[in-house]
Amino acid sequence: MGAFLYGVFLQWKLDIRSKTLIITCYMVPLLFFAIMGGIFTSIMPEARDTLIQSMTVFGVTMGVFIGLPPSLVEIYGSDMKRVYKANGVPLSLGLVLTNFSAYIHLLIMSIILYIAAPLAFHAKLPENPALYFGSLAMFIAVSLSIADIIGLTVKDPAKTSMVSMIVFLPSILLSGIMFPIELLPEAFETAGKLFPASWGYRLMTAGTFQFENLLPLLIILILAVCVCVILLRRAAQD
């Protein structure tokens, strides 16, 4: 347990030293919040009702899909995994530590938004904070699991950001955080349901717990974890 906790703490420090994660987990989401929060609430005052949720979904999606895969490619697309193996460290450790650390960073960023939005833009706080944070915890976990697949599959760092964009952009545009999904063409509305951002946003904006919004996230999480296990086993045999 001591080794694991030291690993999490170390990964946390490495993420802070790495400018990439600071930019993707904090700077861009908070800058986006500062600008879009101002625009949304001035042209659509009702946006205040869901500002925390929409900005959080953007921030988490940004941090997860743009920030995490490069860290995983650094481990699993390089000789680093052989160093782990050669020195008696399980190959899954890199994945677990990176996820734990990213989870903590994203949770902190989400809490900053939760506190700052009412102060800066008179955003409405979620009616049920426990449900909100429970939904947020689930949404972050599911998003991380999808990003893990990208990080374990793509070996070329240059291609990572392109593949991440394929998931990131539709997640943002089709999830309902920018504009109501009812306004989208039906095909886009259906496509949006493939991404965890749509379900995460629904779960976090709902005033009461609705299992039908949680189920898709659970299914995505289970499938993604299974794929990650297969990819890790394959990496161990390389």
Partner 1 sequence: MNEAIKISKLKKRYGAHVVLDGLDFCVRQGEIFALLGANGAGKTTSLECIEGLRKYDSGSITVNGRTGIQLQSASLPEHIKPLEAVRLFAKWNKMTPDKAMLDALGIDALAKKQYYQLSTGQKRRLHLALALTRNPDILFLDEPTAGLDVEGRLSLHEQIRQLKAAGKTIVLASHDMAEVENLCDRIAILSGGRIAFIGTVRQLNETVGKHYNITIQTERRSETYESDNIEETLLSLLMQYRETGEHITDIQINRGSLEQHFMKIAKGEA
What is the binding site for partner 1 (CB under 8 A)?
2-3, 6-7, 10, 13-14, 17-18, 74-75, 78-80, 82-83, 85-89, 93
Q: Which two tokens stand for residue 214?
A: 């949680």
Q: Which residue number, 83 or 226, has a Cβ lying nearer to partner 1?
A: 83
Place of tokens 């426990």: 130
Q: Which residue number, 86 or 119, has a Cβ lying nearer to partner 1?
A: 86
Sign for the pseudo-dihedral over CA of 87, 82, 74, 149: negative
Shortest Cβ 178–partner 1 spacing (Å): 34
Q: Which residue number, 99 or 135, has a Cβ lying nearer to partner 1?
A: 99
Q: Which residue number, 93 or 131, has a Cβ lying nearer to partner 1?
A: 93
- Rounded CA separation 52/71 (Å): 28
Q: Which residue number, 90 or 129, has a Cβ lying nearer to partner 1?
A: 90
Shortest Cβ 156–partner 1 spacing (Å): 15
Alpha helix stretches (DSSP H) within 77-128: 80-86, 92-121
- Rounded CA separation 140/152 (Å): 18
Name, in order, each residue with C-beta under 8 angstroms of 59's C-beta and a sequence gap of 6 or more. Answer: 25, 29, 30, 32, 33, 106, 109, 110, 113
Q: Which two tokens stand for residue 183?
A: 């306004």
Shortest Cβ 167–partner 1 spacing (Å): 24
- Rounded CA separation 90/175 (Å): 37
Shortest Cβ 9–partner 1 spacing (Å): 10
Shortest Cβ 18–partner 1 spacing (Å): 5
